[in-house]
Amino acid sequence: MRSTFGFLLRYYRPYRWSMILALTFMVPSSGVSLLFPMLTGNIIDQILANSEATSLMNTGGLFLGLLTAQAIVGYVVSVTLSRTTERVIASIRSDLYEHIVRLPLSRMSGHRVGELSSRLSSDMTQIQETFSFSLLQLVRQSIFLVGSIVLILATSVRLTMPIIIGMPIIVGAGVLIGRRLRKLSTRTQDALARTSTIIEESLQSISAVKSYVQEPHEIRRYSDSLGEYVGLAVKGARLRAGFVTFIIFTVFGGIAAVILYGARLVESGDLRLGELLSFLMYAMFVGGALGSFAELYGQIQKSLGSAVRIREIMAEPTEEVGCDQPAVRLSSIELDSVSFRYPDRQDMLVVNSISINIKAGERVAFVGESGSGKSTTAALLQRLYDPTLGTIRYNGFDAASYSRAQVRRSVGVVPQDIVLFGGTIEENIRYGRPEASFEDVRKAAADANALDFIERFPEGFGTLVGERGLKLSGGQRQRVAIARALLKNPSILILDEATSSLDAESEHLIQDALERLMADRTTVIIAHRLSTVRTCDRIFVFSAGSVIESGTHDELLRIGGLYSHWCDLQFIR
């Protein structure tokens, strides 16, 4: 708990003087409230003693002045703390998002998108509510508690003793219940994150949901997850409500006993009525403070539960990309006995001792069945993952000689599963090189055979593509992605079934454009349709994570192996 609280307070350090100033004013502002019961009792005693009107007016004027001053100072303090907290939460949210984006793919695969989104939204909101309100109230109620106890002791030790005796019982119960609340809160936030994940997944795949008529299944899945969250939340609410009820019964039961005892003291002349009234008001301050501690403590425990999950994510190691390193033009690639296992699937060897030498300007193809290791090998070429065993070299130098950013800037990728951002067509193409001029963007679109359909839209390049590009057809999304890769102008090109979503005419035009563009680039073509790889300089045949054949199209046909068999099946001889 202490380390988690310290983690959150660390973000307040840049604003510590604002916080110190606000707290400095809050202490006397809250302390002023402790004078009100004393003044009230004083007024009652003056009335009973038939004091002069001037004396009553002076006391009333002091009362009103203190109330006005307290209201003004309280407003300034609340605004200062709220403004500071908003900035602090923005800093934590920004750092968390930056950390998530910088996580390596091997770590990202261990999290679901909805879970991470929940950490950035609901968990941060929970922490924000605590630091903007609950902590302020906790400090204020602590001042009320300590100050009231001191003043009631000064008024009557005998009346104060029942309250003092009951406090350790309440505090002990609060500590025990607080521990349970923190654990329960962490489970509750995890359950809420799971509901966010279901929402994210079902809405992103809404076409598949409707295509397979799985709306009832998704609704049931969400309802079950939501029910789990509600059950945990209600359990926590019951725990807090039980604690509050216990405090109210204990404290106000004690106050009722004090009233009876105090009435006897007034009757016997040992205590003035005004003093009893002041004492009761202070006692109610004590009861109110103790009662609010239960709710405030529970709120803080919930926030600490959220902070635990955020700390766990931020404790995960990020990858060093090296964005500040100068650009290089990589052209040749060599894989020397490269093997790879995914970190969360150590029992499965995805790439098994592959050795491939791709020369500068060479055009090679990776072919094989789904799951044979083609795309994983392409990911290794981009340094999205590091090999488990073996070495990758670029331009004859070990991959460690270059930063990840240098390698990735040299590699352009057109994947089979195109995902576009929800902005305009121009923004999606310009993502390949943000500083490019509009003429460069237009030329890239023309080379990708995308210019015709773009200019048919009323908004042209300003057309919004929608969530994940859903307002464009599959072929249109593919051509926008090709234009984005062309604008990047990489020295190494990876085409993962880059023409698979195009109609025959568009595919022919794109193939012509790609033929010209690949002339000066090292190109890796990942394909299932063997008709697209016949002109490659070399073809590598993948099976079960290994390269079992390699050569030109004609050489592989003469071997009569697996490639030749696939060619017979696809009728391309």
Please report the DSSP string for 189-225 in residue order: HHHHHHHHHHHHHHHHTHHHHHHTT-HHHHHHHHHHH
Region of poorest pLDDT, from 38-52, 178-192, 339-353:
38-52
The pLDDT score that the predictor gives to residue 389 is 92
Query: Of the candidates 523, 563, 501, 568, which has an alpha carbon nearest to the alpha carbon of residue 369?
Result: 563
Distance CA 167, CA 145 (A): 11
Rounded Cα distance between 35 and 24, Å, is: 18
When pLDDT is averaged across residues 108-124 and rounded to a whole number, the result is: 73
Instruction: Pick 560 or 394 by higher pLDDT.
Output: 394
Contacts 24+ apart (CB under 8 A), 75-81: 76/22, 76/25, 77/22, 77/23, 77/25, 77/26, 77/29, 77/136, 78/136, 80/18, 80/21, 80/22, 81/19, 81/22, 81/132, 81/136
The beta strands (E) that lie in 395-434 are given as 397-398, 411-414
Which residues lie across from 541 on neighbouring strands? 367, 549
For residue 8, count other CB atoms closer than 10 A to its CB.
21
Residue 59 in this model has a pLDDT that exceeds 90: no
Q: What is the mean pLDDT of residues 59-83?
A: 75
> Per mean pLDDT, which range of 289-293, 404-408, 453-457 is the poorest?
289-293
Residue ranges, comma separated, of all CATH 3.40.50.300 domains in the chain are 333-570
- pLDDT, position 573: 47
> pLDDT tens digit string along 421-471?
778 888 888 888 888 899 998 988 888 888 888 888 888 888 888 766 677
**Sorting pLDDT into bands at 50, 70 and 90, what band is 146?**
confident
pLDDT digits (tens, 9 = 90+) for 166-187: 666 666 666 677 667 767 777 7
Mean local confidence (pLDDT), 127-131: 76
pLDDT greater than 80 at residue 553: yes
Percent of the chain with pLDDT over 70: 78
**499 contacts 507 by C-beta, under 8 angstroms:** yes
**pLDDT band per the 50, 70, 90 thresholds, residue 355:** very high
CATH architecture of 2-315: Up-down Bundle (1.20)
- Which range scores top for mean pLDDT: 49-63, 203-217, 219-233, 259-273? 219-233
Per-residue pLDDT for 295 more than 90? no
Point out the least confidently predicted range of 275-279, 419-423, 432-436, 543-547.
275-279
Q: Say if residue 333's pLDDT is above 50.
A: yes
Q: How far apart are CA 142 and CA 111, in angstroms?
A: 41
248 contact partners, CB below 8 Å, separation of at least 6: 287, 291
pLDDT of 156 strictly over 70: no
225 vs 282: which has the higher pLDDT: 225
> How many other β-carbons are positioned within 10 Å of the β-carbon of residue 296?
22
> What pLDDT band is residue 334 in, cutting at 50, 70 and 90?
very high
- Whether pLDDT at 512 is above 70: no
Question: What is the rounded distance in angstroms from the CA atom of residue 240 to the CA atom of residue 248?
Answer: 12
Which range has highest mean pLDDT (31-40, 169-178, 318-327)?
A: 318-327
Average pLDDT over residues 353-378: 89
Cα angle value 174/176/181 (rounded, 5°): 85
Cα–Cα distance between 55 and 60 in angstroms, integer? Answer: 9
CA 239 to chain centre: 29
Highest mean pLDDT among 126-130, 143-147, 430-434, 568-572: 430-434
pLDDT level of residue 337 (50, 70, 90 thresholds):
very high
Q: Are 512 and 543 in contact (CB under 8 A)?
A: no
Yes or no: say if 488 and 408 are a contact pair by the CB < 8 Å rule.
no
Q: What mean pLDDT do residues 383-396 have?
A: 90
pLDDT surpassing 80 at residue 541 = yes
Rounded-to-integer distance, Cα 539 and Cα 547, Å: 10
Backbone angles phi, psi at 37, to 5 degrees: -60, -40
Weakest-pLDDT range from 248-257, 359-368, 378-387, 484-493? 248-257
Tell me the mean pLDDT in the region 274-281.
73
Please compute the mean of the pLDDT values over residues 260-280 and round it to a whole number: 72
22 neighbors 132 (Cβ within 8 angstroms) = no
Q: Tell me which fold the domain 333-570 belongs to.
A: Rossmann fold (3.40.50)
With 0-12 CB in 10 A as exposed, 13-18 as middle and 19+ as buried, what is 173?
middle
Secondary element (H or E) of residue 541: strand 538-543
As a whole number of angstroms, the distance between CA 284 and CA 34 comes to: 12
End-to-end CA gap in the chain: 70
Helix, strand, coil percentages (3-state) for the chain, rounded to 5, are 70, 10, 20
- The per-residue pLDDT for 52 is 58
What tens digit of pLDDT does each residue of 516-540 get? 667 688 999 888 777 778 888 899 9
Chain centre distance of CA 193:
10
